[in-house]
Structure 1
Amino acid sequence: MIETVSTTPYGDQKPGTSGLRKKVKVFQQPHYAENFIQSVFEVVEGREGATLIIGGDGRYLNREVIDKAIRMAAANGFGRVIVGRGGILSTPAASHLIRSREAIGGLILSASHNPGGPNEDFGIKYNVANGGPAPEKVTDAILERTRAIDSYRIADAEAVDIDAIGETEIAGMTVEVVDPVAAYADLMQSLFDFTAIRGAGLTMAFDAMSAVTGPYATEILERRLGFEQGTVRNGTPLEDFGGHHPDPNLVHARTLYDLMMSADAPDFGAASDGDGDRNLIIGRDIFITPSDSLAMLAANAHLAPAYADGLRGIARSMPTSAAADRVAAALNIPLFETPTGWKFFGNLLDAGMVTICGEESAGTGSDHVREKDGLWAVLLWLNILAATGKSVKQIAEEHWARFGRNYYARHDYEGVDSAAAEALVDGLRDRLADLPGQEIAGLRIEAADEFAYVDPTDGSISRQQGLRVLFEGGSRVVFRLSGTGTSGATLRVYLERYEPVGGRLDQDTGEMLADIARAADEIAGITRHTGRARPDVIT
């Protein structure tokens, strides 16, 4: 039986760059999750009889919301729901299933790299038929519907056993529970030279951070590639990620970093985040920034079978360093600079204009799916190591000797009072026109602007995508408020210094960026506005 349940709108259901993210207790309010899911379904055109993918990263509340989403899908006319066993699907695996099963879209239940647990974060994201995050025109329509919703539809039926692979029926809709790992692992095996990687004799450590990539990494790294048992650490997905923050950076993956800097370090270290779309790359005695990783992967991608014929283009988010720009120039292929948010890469990928994309926030991927993909990046690095016989450090040093080095760091000021953060950005925005020509902290400002993007595929314009201050010599600082947090505001300050070929290529990053950090504080009044003398996280 289909029930129509009366409800009233909530005023805080605006989807951010990666869906709707709130504290668990917010989602536990009466009808809160149902309101948002119904609003999504009402925006989806052609849903009658269509296939929908549902899965998540296993965090607290996943199973409860998956049950609601399945029963609501049945009540809203979908013909089939495909759900990962146990409710598990990494974000890139969900993207692949949407594409390979020709689904109309999918609900991904995750707050990505945010912490999980009863007092932490939860999220719902809708991905469209190309497998990528819903574009702004769709999320705008969802928001408008959330503001007017007065009822939702749900099937009055028992919960489906999502731990048993197979098919069942609910209110005339087929529910198919699938192995969440197999199809994705097969895809990875089709892209990379597993035989070469298996035969290279490499050692590695992978930290799954008690998050979704544990089962994927165990199947691919230990079973298919033959790395020894125990290579995958923290490999069981937990509802609270073991009480840890599942963000693959040098703060939250410190144990891995310390191992890789020790005398007992294996050849290669890597980690992924809550939902499997981000990555951390560390070699023996060297950390590779996400921006450098994008550039180095692009420069060496031809060593993997899937990219042997070369790349069509590279795309990076605006805050990501310009290291990839120099690779694109050397390869004589286009480079596209987009706003932050993987959805902006989707049009370029669908149009065949780029092959590899990346964001400084530890996200890289290619045209195999329409999401960033943590394990994909790890496997491409392994393929490159196997094909060259070189260490991560050798690859990095040779890359910098060829292209120069973009020293780079991101300073995050988390949980900042929202009004204070807005005042900082508004004040800097008002001063942009006056900054060129000024000298601050010994650096001369060449240009200053607010980034806007014109999509080359459809002409759509995205404004207010970050404030940029460019210094003479190719260095810069970027200021941006992040849309991925759930409390207060996160101010992100991106610092970049370019050192050309023949310059100082082996210096400490913090020392090389010290003058730019001082200039950033003086230009924007970070300490004055936030009350913080230093950032909460440096990556």
Structure 2
Amino acid sequence: MHPRAGQPAQPEDLIDVEKVLGLYYDTVPDVDDPVQQVVFGTSGHRGSSLNGSFTETHVAAITAAIVDYRRAQGIDGPLYVGRDTHALSEPAERTVLEVLVAAGVEVRVDARGSYTPTPAVSHSILLHNGAATSEGPRTAGPGIADGIVITPSHNPPTDGGIKYNATDGGPAGGDVTGWIARRANELVRSGLGSIDRTPYERAVASDLVVKHDYRATFVDDLPSVVDLEAIRAAGVRIGADPLGGASVEYWGVIGELYGLDLTVIHPDADPQFSFMTLDWDGKIRMDCSSPYAMASLREIMAVPDGGSAPYDLATGNDGDSDRHGIVTPDGGLMNPNHFLAVCIDYLFRNRSGWPASAGVGKTLVSSSLIDRVAADLGRPLIETPVGFKYFADGLLQTTMGFGGEESAGASFLRLDGTVWTTDKDGFILDLLAAEITAKTGASPSAYHRSLVARHGESWYARVDAPATREEKAALTALSPSAVTATTLAGEEITARLVTAPGNGEPIGGLKVTTANAWFAARPSGTEDVYKIYAESFVSPEHLEQVQDAARAVVADAIA
């Protein structure tokens, strides 16, 4: 833990924006260096110009690879492009447009020439592809659309990112991103000069670049997914903190248009994010699920003796607004797992227009409280590997009513049971917290306490353990038979999983369960560690025993 975690950023913590931008254009990446190769994680390629992992060459190559993929798949409709507020996002958007126009691709860009949240891009793709029609959205055929979002999500201000959203509106699957990454690395090796581009001033003036009002399209449609009138009528006081991200120009419009008692906290974008408090490791990181990054909002909501909080509810979002953070006067910053369980219980009890067979989507490292809630609701539980891409088809086909990740990303269906977005949406989760407050008269924290009283209290944590590259590779390739232990922290092991129960996809690691506890181990893609997620319904001491046992089980399995 950094000694200044949770404290306001100081001048020495801020990035040199000009240096970051200059290196974006000046650095020639070395494709033989693993750090400087194109690698798509769960949400696209991310990196920094400071270490040569996110440069003009990378972005041009990735965009050209996406063009090649679209041609191979017969995708000939417009490509929706959005960007967030990170310093590298604007130059990356310029590069993207230069390559797309040179390739003859029609591009839809923000009408205001400004920021576009990830959920707004997904929403517009789906509308273009027929989500609002009686036939429902298409994923193939003439004129079908897809998208690119330029964002490193909650990463530090030094970073940039780019991800591809497929024709289903959600993050592209691993087979697609793997192909794009391989092709992009071929182009990086060939050099920037090998990629066709139209100079930006000519490109942006081209008929191929069409201005699209993402904000109005998204904001005007919000009443179809959240009961905004109930929030207004109840007078729920909301403090919305964009954390300097792409939602910064959306929240004020939402509040004004729907007559909400909503105050935008930190209403300006700043590429240095100088107003932030430092995260656990002393870095500026727009992680709305981190108590350290959210320290200033938590302080605002802290109730003094004999006093009251200025808001009934405070919310946060990350850089591209696909994650949510919920702060209540009676509970502080909610654990994302706790809020996901609250959302699931509330939604499935209060969305009469949803399909009776729609299930609950969760990642296998999310809290088992969700399992108990889903069972109580009589809804199917669809447990997937980490990555929101695994929820896209379920939300699109409405076989899932809700899909959520332990890292504070989720989306759910419209009031009438049709698809809203197939990518994470921080707006509707924040607004749902206000709807819950308005309709139940209780905070989401109080709602969670009622779930605990019904289903039991649990203790959940994620820790890291050291691992070499060879050990991480062994962990990824494990079979269930590699686990020879029969008990875990005093309980009989009930399952040893290397594929997800909900879709049979490899989880890239291991999950071991008992009647009252579980752990999952996954290798880090960027550090010499593996991540241990664990939960106990017994006690915090038992959680520590589970974590210790997890290290021993993994060490034995990969030996």
* TM-score, length-scaled by structure 2: 0.78
Report the secondary structure of 2:365's partner residue.
Answer: coil
Contact 2:54 2:161 in 1 (8 A): no
Report the secondary structure of 1:241's partner residue.
Answer: coil
Q: 1-side partners of 2:93 and 2:394: how far apart?
A: 31
Q: 2-side partners of 1:241 and 1:490: how far apart?
A: 29
Q: Does 1:134 align with 2:134?
A: no
Aligned mate of 1:402, from 454, 476, 485: 454
- Of the structure 1 ranges 245-254 and 148-157, higher mean CA displacement relative to structure 2 is found in 148-157
In structure 1, what is the equivalent of residue 483 of structure 2? 433
In structure 2, what is the equivalent of residue 497 of structure 1? 536
Contact 1:10 1:146 in 2 (8 A): no
- Of the structure 1 ranges 9-18 and 128-137, higher mean CA displacement relative to structure 2 is found in 9-18
In structure 1, what is the equivalent of residue 100 of structure 2? 73
Contact 2:480 2:497 in 1 (8 A): no
Contact 1:47 1:104 in 2 (8 A): no
Aligned mate of 1:148, from 175, 186, 203: 186
Aligned mate of 1:320, from 360, 366, 373: 366
In structure 1, what is the equivalent of residue 343 of structure 2? 297
Q: Does 1:232 align with 2:264?
A: yes
Read off the aligned partner of 2:146 and give its amino acid letter.
G
Report the secondary structure of 2:112's partner residue.
Answer: strand
Report the secondary structure of 1:345's partner residue.
Answer: helix
Read off the aligned partner of 1:300 and give its amino acid letter.
Y
- Of the structure 1 ranges 308-317 and 268-277, higher mean CA displacement relative to structure 2 is found in 308-317
In structure 2, what is the equivalent of residue 247 of structure 1? 287
Q: Structure 1's 322 and 303: CA in aligned 2 closer, same or farther, altered over 3 A? A: closer
Q: Structure 1's 389 and 95: CA in aligned 2 closer, same or farther, altered over 3 A? A: same
Cα deviation for residue 498 of structure 1 reads 2.1
Cα deviation for residue 361 of structure 1 reads 0.7
Q: Structure 1's 334 and 448: CA in aligned 2 closer, same or farther, altered over 3 A? A: closer
Cα deviation for residue 259 of structure 1 reads 3.4
In structure 1, what is the equivalent of residue 23 of structure 2? none
In structure 2, what is the equivalent of residue 372 of structure 1? 424
Report the secondary structure of 2:319's partner residue.
Answer: coil
Read off the aligned partner of 1:268 and give its amino acid letter.
L
Unaligned 5+ segments in structure 1 are 1-6, 162-168, 500-508, 530-539
Contact 2:477 2:508 in 1 (8 A): no
Aligned mate of 1:121, from 140, 159, 179: 159
Q: Structure 1's 431 and 115: CA in aligned 2 closer, same or farther, altered over 3 A? A: farther
Read off the aligned partner of 1:382 and give its amino acid letter.
A
In structure 1, what is the equivalent of residue 224 of structure 2? 190
In structure 2, what is the equivalent of residue 38 of structure 1? 64
Contact 2:411 2:423 in 1 (8 A): yes
Pick the structure with more strand per residue.
1
Read off the aligned partner of 2:499 and give its amino acid letter.
A
Cα deviation for residue 464 of structure 1 reads 4.2
Q: Does 1:391 align with 2:443?
A: yes
Between Structure 1 and Structure 2, how many residues are aligned? 485
Q: 2-side partners of 1:462 and 1:283: how far apart?
A: 37
Q: Does 1:199 align with 2:248?
A: no
Cα deviation for residue 320 of structure 1 reads 0.6
Aligned mate of 1:174, from 208, 219, 240: 208
Q: Structure 1's 389 and 303: CA in aligned 2 closer, same or farther, altered over 3 A? A: farther
- Of the structure 1 ranges 390-399 and 102-111, higher mean CA displacement relative to structure 2 is found in 390-399
Cα deviation for residue 214 of structure 1 reads 1.8
Aligned mate of 1:21, from 25, 43, 46: 46
Q: 1-side partners of 2:98 and 2:543: how far apart?
A: 53
Read off the aligned partner of 2:285 and give its amino acid letter.
H
In structure 1, what is the equivalent of residue 415 of structure 2? none
Q: Structure 1's 522 and 207: CA in aligned 2 closer, same or farther, altered over 3 A? A: farther
Cα deviation for residue 369 of structure 1 reads 0.4
In structure 2, what is the equivalent of residue 210 of structure 1? 244
Q: Structure 1's 222 and 521: CA in aligned 2 closer, same or farther, altered over 3 A? A: farther
Read off the aligned partner of 2:199 and give its amino acid letter.
D
Deviations 1:50-73 (A, max 9, x none): 201111112112121211211211
Q: 2-side partners of 1:283 and 1:210: how far apart?
A: 21
Read off the aligned partner of 2:458 and give its amino acid letter.
N
Q: 2-side partners of 1:39 and 1:309: how far apart?
A: 38
In structure 2, what is the equivalent of residue 107 of structure 1? 148
Cα deviation for residue 9 of structure 1 reads 8.8
Cα deviation for residue 115 of structure 1 reads 0.9
Contact 1:48 1:78 in 2 (8 A): no
In structure 2, what is the equivalent of residue 481 of structure 1? 523
Report the secondary structure of 1:153's partner residue.
Answer: coil
Contact 1:267 1:284 in 2 (8 A): yes
- Of the structure 1 ranges 341-350 and 255-264, higher mean CA displacement relative to structure 2 is found in 255-264
Q: 1-side partners of 2:468 and 2:477: how far apart?
A: 14
In structure 2, what is the equivalent of residue 259 of structure 1? 300
Equivalences for 1:158-169 in 2 at 5 Å? 158=201, 169=205
Aligned mate of 1:277, from 307, 322, 334: 322
Cα deviation for residue 525 of structure 1 reads 6.5
Q: Structure 1's 77 and 404: CA in aligned 2 closer, same or farther, altered over 3 A? A: same
Q: Structure 1's 73 and 101: CA in aligned 2 closer, same or farther, altered over 3 A? A: same
Q: 1-side partners of 2:428 and 2:155: how far apart?
A: 21
Contact 1:303 1:383 in 2 (8 A): no
Q: 2-side partners of 1:381 and 1:154: how far apart?
A: 45
Q: 1-side partners of 2:149 and 2:366: how far apart?
A: 25
Cα deviation for residue 130 of structure 1 reads 1.4
Contact 1:432 1:448 in 2 (8 A): no
Cα deviation for residue 514 of structure 1 reads 3.5
Deviations 1:197-230 (A, max 9, x none): 01212223222111112222222235524225xx
Q: Does 1:449 align with 2:496?
A: yes
Report the secondary structure of 1:88's partner residue.
Answer: coil
Q: 2-side partners of 1:214 and 1:146: how far apart?
A: 32
Q: 2-side partners of 1:14 and 1:208: how far apart?
A: 28
Report the secondary structure of 1:106's partner residue.
Answer: strand
Report the secondary structure of 1:177's partner residue.
Answer: strand
Contact 1:445 1:469 in 2 (8 A): no
Cα deviation for residue 363 of structure 1 reads 1.0
Q: 1-side partners of 2:252 and 2:528: how far apart?
A: 36
Read off the aligned partner of 1:477 and give its amino acid letter.
F
Pairwise CA RMSD: 3.1
Q: Structure 1's 159 and 131: CA in aligned 2 closer, same or farther, altered over 3 A? A: same
Contact 1:433 1:448 in 2 (8 A): no
Q: 2-side partners of 1:154 and 1:423: how far apart?
A: 38
Deviations 1:302-341 (A, max 9, x none): 5766856767111100101122222222222211000000
Q: Does 1:349 align with 2:378?
A: no
Report the secondary structure of 1:114's partner residue.
Answer: coil
Contact 1:84 1:180 in 2 (8 A): yes
* TM-score, length-scaled by structure 1: 0.81
Unaligned 5+ segments in structure 2 are 1-27, 130-143, 277-283, 413-418
Report the secondary structure of 1:379's partner residue.
Answer: helix
